[in-house]
């Protein structure tokens, strides 16, 4: 019997340090806790997500590496192993890798710091998602406390480019940073904390947004 296809989320952005790996790992771990068979495919030669997986050991989710050109094959293997959800982490400044990930995805998430130069980098993604017609959403990351105006301006900038913004944002929170550096996620070092709640809310939203 052929393996059923997993749902695939591509996490992409041109900008370095926008939060791609943080978002991919937190979302995948949240899905794994929700009993979804989940794996992360790390297509970044820096292999940051894979290193996190090594530090984590046997705890879920599984993390595998794949060169972008082998992505379809790696996803086939994940499907054969019964994966229901695949989250693809991508490198910065790498249009080809981003294109490969967007091509196979059911949903594209674009983590972006809510600052002008970061928002400007969204332009490079618009054509790619328009070309494939894949649903895509900007996820504002590292939002300073009380920065309502900043969030509204960022949403407007995304809208001007024709991109939707996810209603869930991630604040600038030490728990994201500290947990990742230990092979953990925010909810594991600070259960019930603000970061953990943001991740839960994002997972809930993603489940509905996934076509």
The binding site for Mg ion (CB under 5 A) comprises 20-21, 48
**In the numeric block, which tokens belong to residue 147?**
């920065």
If the CB atoms of residues 16 and 82 are measured against ligand ATP, the closer one turns out to be 16
Residue 17 or 124 with smaller CB distance to ligand ATP: 17
CA distance 56 to 81: 20
Tell me which of ligand ATP, Mg ion, none is bound by residue 74, counting a contact when its beta carbon lies within the kind-specific cut-off of 5 to 8 angstroms.
none
Among ligand ATP, Mg ion, none, what does residue 176 contact (CB within 5–8 Å per kind)? ligand ATP
Report the Cα–Cα distance between both ends of the chain, in Å, rounded: 24
CB atoms within 10 A of CB 165: 21
**Which residue's CB is nearer to ligand ATP, number 80 or number 182?**
182
Cβ atoms within 10 Å of 147's Cβ, excluding its own: 17
Closest CA to 111 of 207, 191, 25: 25
Tokens of 187: 């909810």
Biggest alpha carbon–alpha carbon distance for the chain: 53
173 is a site residue for ligand ATP (CB under 6 A): yes
Q: Does 56 bind ligand ATP (CB under 6 A)?
A: no
**Span from 16-24, 30-38, 63-71, 94-102 in contact with ligand ATP (CB under 6 A):** 16-24
Task: Choose the stretch contacting ligand ATP; rule: CB under 6 A; options: 20-28, 59-67, 73-81, 154-162.
Answer: 20-28
The answer to whether the beta carbons of residues 22 and 11 sit under 8 Å apart is no
For ligand ATP, the closer CB: 18 or 38: 18
- Is there binding between residue 193 and ligand ATP (CB under 6 A)? no
19: contact with ligand ATP by CB under 6 A? yes
* DSSP collapsed to 3 states, 124-168: HHHHHHHHHCCCEEEEECCECCCCHHHHHHHHHHHHHCCCEECCC
The one segment of 69-77, 101-109, 119-127, 165-173 that binds ligand ATP by CB under 6 A: 165-173
3-state secondary structure (DSSP) of residue 11: strand
**Candidate residues 8, 10, 18, 121; the one interacting with ligand ATP per rule CB under 6 A:** 18
Residues lying near ligand ATP in the complex (CB under 6 A) are found at: 16-22, 44, 46, 48, 92, 141-142, 170, 172-173, 176-177, 180
């Amino acid at each position: 019997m052929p393996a059923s296809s997993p749902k695939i989320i591509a996490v992409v952005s041109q900008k370095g340090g926008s939060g791609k790996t943080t978002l991919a790992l937190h979302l995948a771990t949240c899905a794994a806790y929700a009993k979804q068979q989940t794996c992360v495919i790390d297509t970044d030669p820096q292999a940051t997500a894979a290193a996190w997986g090594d530090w984590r050991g046997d705890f879920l989710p599984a993390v595998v590496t794949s060169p972008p050109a082998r992505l379809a094959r790696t996803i086939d293997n994940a499907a054969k192993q019964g994966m229901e959800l695949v989250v693809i982490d991508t490198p910065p400044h790498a249009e080809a890798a981003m294109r490969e990930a967007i091509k196979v995805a059911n949903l594209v998430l674009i983590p972006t710091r809510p600052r002008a130069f970061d928002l400007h980098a969204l332009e490079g993604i618009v054509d790619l998602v328009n070309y494939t017609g894949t649903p895509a959403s900007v996820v504002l990351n590292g939002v300073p406390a009380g920065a309502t105006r900043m969030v509204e301006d960022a949403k407007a900038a995304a809208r001007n480019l024709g991109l939707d913004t996810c209603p869930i944002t991630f604040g600038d929170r030490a728990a994201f940073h500290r947990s990742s550096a230990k092979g953990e996620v925010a909810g594991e070092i600070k259960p019930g904390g603000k970061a953990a709640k943001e991740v839960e809310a994002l997972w809930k939203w993603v489940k509905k947004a996934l076509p």
